[in-house]
Chain A
Amino acid sequence: MKPIILVGLLLFASMANAITPVIRGVVKEKENPDLPVVGANIYWAGTSHGTTSNTEGEFEIALHKTTGSFPLVISFVGFNADTIMVSTADKSLNVLLNKNIELEEVVVKERVRGQYLSTLNPIQSTKVTVTELQKAACCNLSESFETNASVDVAYTDAVTGAQQIKMLGLSGIYVQTISENIPSIRGMAAPYGLNYVPGPWMESIQISKGTSSVVNGYEAITGQINVEYKKPESDEVFHFNLYGNDALKTEANLNASYKITDTLSTMILLHAENQSSEIDENGDNFLDMPMMRQINFMNRWYKVGKDGGDKQIGIKILDENRQSGQVGAFNTENSNLYGIGIRTKRYEVFAKNGYLFNKPGTSLGMQLSGSYHNQEAFYGKTNYNGTQSNGYFNLIYQGNFGSDLHTFKTGASFFADRFEETLNSKIFSHNEIVPGSFFEYNFNLRNKLNVLAGVRADYSSIYGMFVTPRIHAKWTVSEWLTWRASAGKGYRTPIPLAENNYLLASSREMIIDENLKQEEAVNLGTSFNAKVPLGEKHLNLTVDYYRTNFVNQVVRDVDSDVHAVRFMNLDGQSYSNAFQAELFYELFRGFTLNAAYRVNDVKQTIGGELREMPLTSRYKGLLSMSYATRLNKWQFDLTGQFNGGGRMPDPSAINPLWEQEFSPFTVVNGQITKNFKRWSFYAGGENILSFMMENPIIASNDPWGENFDGSMIWGPVHGRKIYFGLRYTLKNFE
Chain B
Amino acid sequence: MKRIVLTLLVALVATGLFGTTAFAAEKKNEKTIIFKVDMDCQSCVKKIEGNIPYEKGVKDLKVSLENKECTVTFRTDKTTIESLKEAFKKLGYVATEKEETPTETIKKTEEHKH
Contacts and interface: CB of A to CB of B under 8 A. Distances in A.
Nearest to A235: B46
Interface residues of B, number: 36
Contacts of A109: 45, 62-65
Contacts, number: 88
Interface stretch (A366-374, A389-397, A589-597): A589-597
A48 B41 contact: yes
B33 interface: no
A690 to B, nearest CB: 13
Interface in A348-364: none
A733 B50 contact: yes
Given A109-B63, A677-B51, A731-B46, A43 B41 contact: yes
Contacts of B60: 630-631
A625 B19 CA distance: 13
Interface in A66-93: 77-78
A50 interface: yes
Contact of A666 (B1, B15, B64): B1
Contacts of A36: 114
Nearest to B11: A638
B41 A631 contact: no
A41 interface: yes
B113 A35 contact: yes
Contact of B40 (A50, A631, A640): A50
Contacts of B54: 676-677
A568 interface: no
A633 B53 contact: yes
B15 A625 contact: yes
A177 B96 CA distance: 50
Given A677-B54, A733-B47, A734-B50, A627 B19 contact: yes
B23 A589 contact: yes
Interface residues of A, dominant DSSP: loop
Nearest to A644: B1
B contact face: mostly helix, strand, loop, or mixed: helix
A664 B19 CA distance: 32
A109 B39 CA distance: 15
Interface residues of A, number: 43
A631 B15 contact: no
Contact of A625 (B12, B23, B40, B50): B12
A467 interface: no
Contact of B51 (A43, A52, A734): A734
B34 interface: no
A463 interface: no
Contact of A642 (B5, B66, B68, B112): B5
Interface in A36-67: 36, 38-39, 41, 43, 48, 50-52, 55
Contacts of A668: 4, 8
Contact of A689 (B4, B53, B59, B65): B4
Contact of A623 (B1, B8, B40, B50): B8
Interface in B2-42: 4-5, 8, 11-12, 15-16, 19-20, 23, 40-41
Nearest to A50: B41
Given A106-B66, A627-B19, A664 B51 contact: no
Interface of B: 1, 4-5, 8, 11-12, 15-16, 19-20, 23, 40-41, 43, 45-47, 50-51, 53-54, 58-66, 68, 73, 111-114
Give 10 nearest A-B pairs by CB, closest first: A733-B47, A631-B53, A677-B54, A52-B40, A630-B60, A48-B43, A77-B66, A666-B4, A591-B19, A733-B46
